[in-house]
């Protein structure tokens, strides 16, 4: 009887040599599952929740490219109160050949305007001579309507104060058209009228304004102290505190402007920089504008500091806006 010779299979090994496998070994090799290949590690990113803000309208944008990071009725036009002074300052600063050291006499009409409208004021004294630069500080820090009036009267054209201020308001609207802010309109030089904009367009205006070095320097200033020649020949000393309490309260904040009227509610245009990232935002008609702004900035920066933020206190004699 002829003995059966077991069948062997050959397997290649390194160097091209062949290794004979027994039948059992071959069967085991066929039955074995393929070697497990590890999946590449996946990076897990924390999920950012959408912030709940009290403002009726709000937006947060990238300060570099304008990309929208958050929006709430961002394209709905609303009253903007004294945030309109951002445009007033921009028009002055972009006037060809503007002389920031030009002295402007304070007229009684500027003070009367504040009294008549119950507007915020820098308490400019009649007969004092302030520079254009000082008037910009007075407009943007204590939100002085008297200072805004002085700028409008100086940079508008016409034979009368009424004509000059109307001309200045027309310049605000012309600049809005130039910047393609289709839903932004002005009928006052200080935001005390029916001036309106959308959160998105107001943020776009703020991005534009922040390109100016002087504007950036002013809106990040917490307190300004200066002096001016007084009407009696002596020296008047002025101190203006920034109404924006987000400055010094949230790390990285560099501006920009508050605004408050009954129709507009509490408004805030704000900006902050951390590292190489700048964010700009707007909240309109908010019951808690600073908390809203902090939440939006946390959203943009990926932080959680809003919960522990403590607002910077303003001196007792500071203006509120």
Residue numbers annotated as active site: 82, 85, 143
The phi, psi pair for 182, rounded to 5°, reads -65, -25
3-state DSSP helix/strand/coil % of the chain, to nearest 5: 35, 25, 45
Please give the structure tokens belonging to residue 81: 């109160």
Instruction: Evaluate the CA torsion angle 211, 217, 223, 228 in order and state its sign.
Output: negative
Runs of H (alpha helix) within 128-231: 132-140, 145-155, 161-178, 199-209, 213-219
∠ at Cα 189 (132, 86), nearest 5°? 70
Which residue has 């920089």 as its token pair? 273
Q: Which residues contact 79 (CB under 8 A, 6 or more apart)?
A: 194, 195, 196, 261, 263, 264, 284, 285
């Amino acid at each position: 009887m002829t003995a059966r010779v077991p069948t062997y299979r050959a397997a290649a090994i390194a160097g091209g040599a062949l290794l004979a496998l027994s039948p059992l070994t071959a069967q085991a090799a066929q039955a074995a599952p393929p070697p497990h290949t590890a999946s590449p590690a996946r990076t897990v990113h924390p999920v950012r929740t959408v912030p709940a803000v009290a403002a009726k309208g709000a937006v947060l944008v990238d300060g570099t490219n304008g990309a929208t990071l958050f929006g709430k009725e961002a394209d709905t036009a609303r009253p903007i109160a004294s945030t309109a002074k951002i445009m007033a300052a921009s028009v002055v600063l972009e006037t060809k050949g503007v002389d920031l050291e030009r002295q402007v006499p304070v007229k009684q009409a500027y003070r009367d305007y504040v009294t008549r409208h119950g507007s915020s004021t820098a308490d400019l004294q009649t007969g004092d001579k302030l520079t254009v630069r000082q008037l910009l500080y007075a407009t943007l820090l204590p939100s002085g309507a008297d200072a805004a009036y002085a700028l409008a009267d100086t940079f508008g054209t016409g034979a009368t104060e009424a004509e000059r201020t109307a001309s200045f308001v027309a310049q605000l609207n012309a600049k809005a058209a130039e910047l393609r802010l289709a839903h932004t309109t002005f009928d006052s030089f200080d935001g005390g009228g029916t001036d309106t904009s959308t959160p998105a367009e107001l943020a776009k205006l703020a991005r534009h304004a922040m390109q100016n070095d002087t504007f950036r320097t002013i809106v990040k200033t917490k307190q300004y102290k200066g002096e001016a020649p007084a009407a009696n020949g002596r020296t008047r000393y002025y101190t203006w505190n920034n109404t924006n309490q987000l400055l010094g309260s949230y790390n990285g904040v560099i501006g920009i402007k508050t605004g408050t009227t009954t129709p507009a509610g509490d408004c805030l245009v704000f900006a902050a920089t951390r590292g190489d990232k700048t964010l700009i935002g707007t909240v309109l008609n908010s019951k808690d504008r600073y908390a809203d702004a902090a939440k939006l900035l946390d959203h943009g920066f990926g932080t959680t500091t809003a919960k522990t933020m403590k607002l910077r206190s303003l001196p007792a004699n500071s203006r509120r806006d």
